Structure 1
Amino acid sequence: MEFRNLTSFPALAFEGIDQHGQSFHVAVLRQTLTFCSGRLEYAGTQAPLCEVDTFFGEMNRSSLRQESDLCQYKPKCDVIVNATAHAPQHKPAQHFEVLVRIKRADTQMAPPAAAQGLNPFTSPSQAEMEAWRIATAHAQRTRVPGAVLLEKKLAVTGERVFRQRAWPLRLAATLARWGTLGLIKANPWRLTSPRAFTEMPLRHEYAYGGECRVNAGDRGARRIGKKYRLTPAGLAGHPDREAAPALQPVAHRTCEQNLVGRGFAEPWFLRASGMKSVPAPRIEHPDAPLSARLFWQSLRGKFTDAGTLPRPFEPAGLGLRAKAHPQRRALLGTVDEAFIGSDAWLPQDFDFAIWNCAPPDQQIDYLAGDERIELINLCAPDAPGATIDAQGNTCLELALPGHACTLLMRMEDGAMFLHPMHIDSLLIEPEQGAVSLVWRAVIAKDADIRAVDLRQHCEFEAGFMQLIAEGARKQKSLGRAGSNVERELQHG
């Protein structure tokens, strides 16, 4: 099969394989758009396909910027927003909210039915005709708002910490607990007031998470109990097992949901390190803030089962989840000795949803390519196209261009038919003034396919190509070269 990219955008075709050992073709295309002029338009220089996962800082020690475009299939569309939170009117604030909203394009109101008489042999009255003309004129000037596909709000705060209260207060709390036989348990921790700030990157480094680690060369290494120390087997499997002896970990626990965040702590670590304060998350779910009481309860082991963690302990953000996230990792399927000893490419219960890297509330149906993007306090007030609302919030609204990408399938017998591509990744980066779209399609391997042309076209041309597709289907039924493959991948 010959693959021909007839667009000006970077694209690639490669082979995929499913959990049943069946191979298929994958075509992927990436578009880079800019809004430096105040509206979205194709950038003069197109970014290449992302072939490897990229990070904001050191690999695997900072939050992810984007994952590789060369995955096989995504059952949903990922919406990723790598943005900086900007305070309203760029005035220092202790806290404020940010929001991202994705909507379908507005549509024209449907015209009213033509005025009718009492029966087919009579004409409508003059009043009925006038009412119909008024209703028609109203429909022509009215747009129906598109459905909201995604609406996510976050609360951001200034720098703050969980801090132990002064020792006299802690002593008084201890005496009160003894005097009441444990009925009164005063919280020895408090959450400081946030400092005022004007902007902050919305990255997982500022969300709940993190790690507790003590190295052999640290002063507190001797104060760690045996039950918290890494076993020889644990150290042998640690990524830093070959580091200098002083830099090898003695004890190491992580928040699996977010290894690079803040707020995660365990009592043994606080005792060994002598820490009296712990940086608190600065990005939270508005309806579930993390309090000093919840932090204290976590230190006391109340939330020992990761499956019962309250929502305040769920890392908040607009970026993507790492592959090590427990919910993503579970989609890999059963990797047991039987699988390792087999020649299978993937476990039988592998779920292609593992390639959706966005949090579940940022996974939506495939985009059509004409949706509208709305951002609030996620760009600088002087960004091109930005406006200020009555509350001083910075608002930016962008419209995708509405063009479509498709595969024109050319068969050995001369027949042709059109196979759609889907937008399965939307990456929004306001600081760079850029929006990226990733289009993807999967097709079955078929010896009758001579060539595949990747094309971009406007609505008129898309309609014309659809006529060709309908004619081709009458000549040859090759539905299995298209949507059936996606259906099998989605349902396993």
Structure 2
Amino acid sequence: MSVENHTPFPALAFRQYNMVGELMGVVVARGTFKLTKDGPLQLADEQYPLVMSDTYEGDPHETPHLACTDLAPFKPGTDVTFVGASFAPGGKAQSSWTCGLKVGSVDKRLRVHGPRLWRARTRKTWRGLIDRDKEDALDGWELTPGDPVAYVPIDWRLAFGGRRDEGELEANPLGMGLVGQTRFKQQPEWPAPRIELEDQPIQSVTDRPQPAGFAPISPFWKDRAELAGTYDEDWVEKRHPLLPEDFDYAFWQAAPRDQIAEPWLEGNEPFELTNLLPGFENLRGSLPGLALQVSIEQGAGSQSGLMVLDGVHFYMRPGVGRVFLTWRCNFLWPEREGLPRLEMAHVVEGV
């Protein structure tokens, strides 16, 4: 549905039932901004359209989630995400370094590595005198240093995860680092994760760390899927088309849980990108200090309210290099009466 839009940002309105069966109006807007050094984000000349469905690099079950749909009805916090790569300090290839994403209350650091391996250590056994198949025994696994590289993609495929031998998926189903320890003779070397949380380094082949990354996560990953509620026969008979009673609106948060700001960011917070841009070891700036307001007349006088900032998405892949902000608001709209009016509420110098 359209809105009376008095902003430079693409926006739309839609209706959806809330948990108690009321028809709510939802207005969402997306702004496209450029980075500036030591200053607020600047409005981009080209405003990218709203994202109408989750976007992936390729097959959703094999490639990363690049952008989440803007058609979410409500997010209880602000997603802070980053898609891109980390670059070695000074531009010189290194085996390992740290990088960081900080926006307001969200502060997260990763350690990245060049390609590295889990390598089997073996020892000879007396059983080999009788049975050559038992000549070598596993004596543990060593983690090799990373090969020097100039950059590391911040890609879930390079963080810990994957599918276990018994078929069960890790929290990051795209990841790497699972080792078939019983197959050490056939495969003595296994790829090791190249991205880890700075304060939780992977030290053992048996470690099962949380996924380490900055990018959005898919709705069918464990951390989000467990918030979606129960869709069973009881739900079909008693609740449909409403959401299940155990549905959690945090399901719509596409950021990893440690990258969600609650309550929402106000929109003027400082940010810092550490080793996430070529040529800038630390790029500091701030959100643009911008607020949007929605008003609507439904026959009983005009009602208005501020939208909340529920998404800050740094998309630093080559050819794009933009920051996307999303705002959202909800209001009762049972009869679809009136046309939502969207306008700027506050702009600081620089936008």
TM range, smaller chain = 0.7 to 0.9
Letter in 1 for 2:290: H
Aligned to 1:79: 80
Identity %: 29
Aligned to 2:177: 263
The 2-side partners of 1:94 and 1:47 are apart by: 37
The 2-side partners of 1:47 and 1:423 are apart by: 17
Check if 1:360 corresponds to 2:257.
Answer: yes
Check if 1:455 corresponds to 2:351.
Answer: no
The 2-side partners of 1:256 and 1:186 are apart by: 25
Deviations for 1:49-97, whole angstroms, at most 9, x for unmatched residues?
0111111233321111111110111001100011210000011111111
State the shift of 1:283 in Å. Answer: 0.5
Letter in 2 for 1:377: N
Alignment of 1:314-393 (within 5 A): 314-342=210-238, 343-364=240-261, 365-381=263-279, 386=280
Aligned to 1:397: 284
The 2-side partners of 1:206 and 1:28 are apart by: 33
The 2-side partners of 1:11 and 1:2 are apart by: 8
Check if 1:160 corresponds to 2:116.
Answer: yes
Aligned to 2:146: 194
The structure with the largest strand share of the pair is 2
State the shift of 1:448 in Å. Answer: 9.8
State the shift of 1:395 in Å. Answer: 0.9
The 2-side partners of 1:24 and 1:410 are apart by: 15
Q: Is the 8 A contact 2:3 2:11 kept in 1?
A: no
Aligned to 2:123: 170
State the shift of 1:24 in Å. Answer: 0.6
The more displaced of 66-75 and 11-20 is 11-20
Q: Is the 8 A contact 2:120 2:139 kept in 1?
A: no
Aligned to 2:296: 409
State the shift of 1:162 in Å. Answer: 0.7
The 1-side partners of 2:85 and 2:6 are apart by: 36
Q: Is the 8 A contact 1:412 1:448 kept in 2?
A: no
Deviations for 1:8-56, whole angstroms, at most 9, x for unmatched residues?
2111100111233322111000000012788521111111101111112
Alignment of 1:92-111 (within 5 A): 92-103=93-104
Q: Is the 8 A contact 1:100 1:374 kept in 2?
A: yes
Please, what is the CA RMSD of the aligned residues?
Answer: 2.7
The structure with the largest helix share of the pair is 1
Structure with greater Cα Rg: 1
| Uncovered stretches (5+) of structure 1, i.e. residues with no partner | 104-148, 176-184, 214-227, 229-252, 299-309, 387-393, 461-492
Residue 338 of structure 2 aligns to a residue whose secondary structure is strand
Aligned to 1:120: none
The 2-side partners of 1:441 and 1:58 are apart by: 32
State the shift of 1:158 in Å. Answer: 1.1
The 1-side partners of 2:336 and 2:236 are apart by: 35
Alignment of 1:189-268 (within 5 A): 189-211=141-163, 253-267=167-181
Q: Is the 8 A contact 1:332 1:351 kept in 2?
A: yes
The 2-side partners of 1:404 and 1:442 are apart by: 15
The more displaced of 417-426 and 331-340 is 331-340
Aligned partner (choices 424, 434, 437) of residue 322 of structure 2? 434
The 2-side partners of 1:262 and 1:22 are apart by: 44
Q: Is the 8 A contact 1:173 1:186 kept in 2?
A: no
State the shift of 1:335 in Å. Answer: 2.3
Letter in 1 for 2:194: R
Letter in 2 for 1:27: V
Residue 292 of structure 2 aligns to a residue whose secondary structure is strand
Letter in 2 for 1:416: S
Paired residues in the alignment total 335
Deviations for 1:355-413, whole angstroms, at most 9, x for unmatched residues?
011111100031222122111101010xxxx4xxxxxxx11012222121010233425
Residue 15 of structure 1 aligns to a residue whose secondary structure is strand
Question: How has the CA–CA distance of structure 1 residues 43 and 2 changed in structure 2, closer, same or farther, with 3 Å as cutoff?
Answer: closer
The 1-side partners of 2:87 and 2:228 are apart by: 38
Aligned to 1:150: 106
Q: Is the 8 A contact 2:79 2:255 kept in 1?
A: yes
Question: How has the CA–CA distance of structure 1 residues 20 and 162 changed in structure 2, closer, same or farther, with 3 Å as cutoff?
Answer: same
Aligned to 1:29: 29
Residue 244 of structure 2 aligns to a residue whose secondary structure is coil
Aligned to 1:423: 309
Deviations for 1:329-363, whole angstroms, at most 9, x for unmatched residues?
11112222212445333211111111011111100
Aligned to 1:7: 7
Residue 235 of structure 2 aligns to a residue whose secondary structure is helix
State the shift of 1:438 in Å. Answer: 0.5
